[in-house]
Chains A and B, each alone.
Chain A
Amino acid sequence: MLLLDAQDQAGGDLAALAGPGGQAADLALRRAEIDQATGMLTEQLGAGIGDAFVRLRAYAYARDLRLTDVARDIVARRLRLHPDPSRDGEA
């Protein structure tokens, strides 16, 4: 169920974020990266897919970053999240 929730959230989030022109296409392009980053976060956080996605989105929202940019940084291993959110970004 969590998994389905996470997918719904991911889908809803993408739809809500999709702006005019290039941005919707860019989100489609980056969709796989969001899924891959969410999978990576389950390991970094010791969490399920649903919680991992919530943390990904919260990180982007709190810093006014695009979800796709945060996902790309995680997949490229430039960013790690921590089980304790106050320590996000530490090596």
Chain B
Amino acid sequence: MDGQLLSETFVELTDTMVAGFDVIDFLHVLTDRSVQLLDVSAAGLLLADPRGELRVVAASSEAVRMLELFQLQNDQGPCLDCFRAGRPVAAADLSAEAQRWPRFAAAAQQAGFAAVQALPMRLRDQVIGALNLFRAVPGAFDPADIRIGQALADVATISLLHERSMRHSDTLNEQLQTALNSRVIIEQAKGKLAERLGLDMDQAFSVLRDHARTRNLRLSDVALAFVDGSETLARTGAAQEHSARRDRLPPG
């Protein structure tokens, strides 16, 4: 466990009151730091919309994003159970869960995941979503990891609820709607950048986010500027690096 990174992460997950707060960025901090800090290979996050339906708002990779959508599509899986019960849900070996989640267990294994831990995004009796942690190898999750994962989810939940109450006391929906709108532009920007530099979607997302981070810009603003052509990302170090690597590598 990287203690320095852990304490920095708690600060990041508390820091929603800054000018230029970007909810998508914030949620990606939660999924990415979960992967960095805990013994897990991937993380995904779902939040409930005003009708109580879960939406995928962040994922540490495309594979996890697709798997989270698959859960919602089939109305089946640990994240949904966790959200509905408001309690953690665990499966140490998905190959033994064909009865509990027939379609989800098969899809998760096909995506390369063998174990899952879902943690509620909860404050008292209000459950706003769930954080899913995945591992590539079967086995129980380390109890210390689960405690830290839940602590990260708790801090993020309080920050999200606080941000909602501070900025949009009358429209609770706005935070999530903003996130979903940003998601469209970010996916378009990923496609444009992937095509331009010959990257896959995960790499394209990294380049966009690194560009935003190093310049202290909001991810959604960078994505919008890139899509409308006012930002070329030409001077982005990560883009050059990806591009150079592509030039060096032989095809295939």
Spell out A's residues near B (CB within 8 Å): 3, 7, 10, 22, 25-26, 28-29, 32, 35-44, 48-49, 75
Q: Which of B50-92 contact A (CB under 8 A)?
A: 65-66, 69-70, 72-73
| Chain B, residue nearest A24 (CB) | B73
Question: How many B residues are at the interface, by size bracket?
Answer: 20 to 34
Q: How far is the CA of A25 from the CA of B191 in the complex (A)?
A: 22
- Report A-chain residues with C-beta under 8 Å of the C-beta of B228: 3, 48-49
List the B residue with the shortest CB-CB distance to A36.
Answer: B191
Residue from the set A38, A39, A42 with the largest chain B CB neighbour count within 10 Å: A39
Q: Tell me the complex Cα distance, A39–B66, Å.
A: 19
Given contacts A29-B73, A40-B192, A49-B227, 10 further A-B contacts (CB under 8 A): A7-B181, A29-B70, A32-B183, A36-B191, A36-B194, A39-B187, A39-B192, A39-B195, A43-B195, A44-B195
Q: B69, A75: Cβ atoms under 8 Å? A: no
Given contacts A28-B69, A42-B227, A49-B227, contact A35 B195 (CB under 8 A): no
Minimum CB–CB distance for A29 against chain B, Å? 5
Contacts of A32 in B (CB 8 A): 65, 183, 187
By secondary structure, the B interface counts as: helix
Given contacts A3-B228, A42-B227, contact A75 B191 (CB under 8 A): yes
Residues on A with C-beta less than 8 A from B193 are: 39
Residues of B within 8 A of A (CB): 65-66, 69-70, 72-73, 181, 183-185, 187-196, 201, 224, 227-229
Provided the pairs A36-B194, A40-B194 are in contact, do residues A49 and B73 lie with their beta carbons within 8 angstroms?
no
Tell me how many residue pairs across A and B have CB atoms closer than 8 Å. Answer: 65
Contacts of A39 in B (CB 8 A): 187-195, 227
**Would you give 19 A-B contacts (Cβ < 8 Å), ordered by A?**
A3-B185, A3-B224, A3-B227, A26-B73, A28-B69, A28-B73, A29-B70, A29-B73, A36-B187, A36-B201, A38-B191, A39-B187, A39-B194, A40-B191, A41-B191, A42-B188, A48-B229, A49-B227, A75-B201
B108 to chain A, nearest CB (A): 15
Distance in angstroms from B251 CB to nearest chain A CB is 13
| A29 B69 Cβ-Cβ under 8 A | yes
Residues of B with C-beta under 8 A to A35: 184, 187-188, 191
Q: Look across to chain A and name the residue whose beta carbon is closest to the beta carbon of B180.
A: A31
Q: Which residues of A contact B65 (CB under 8 A)?
A: 32
Q: How far is the CA of A49 from the CA of B228 in the complex (A)?
A: 8
Q: Tell me the smallest distance from the CB of A51 to a CB of chain B, in Å.
A: 13
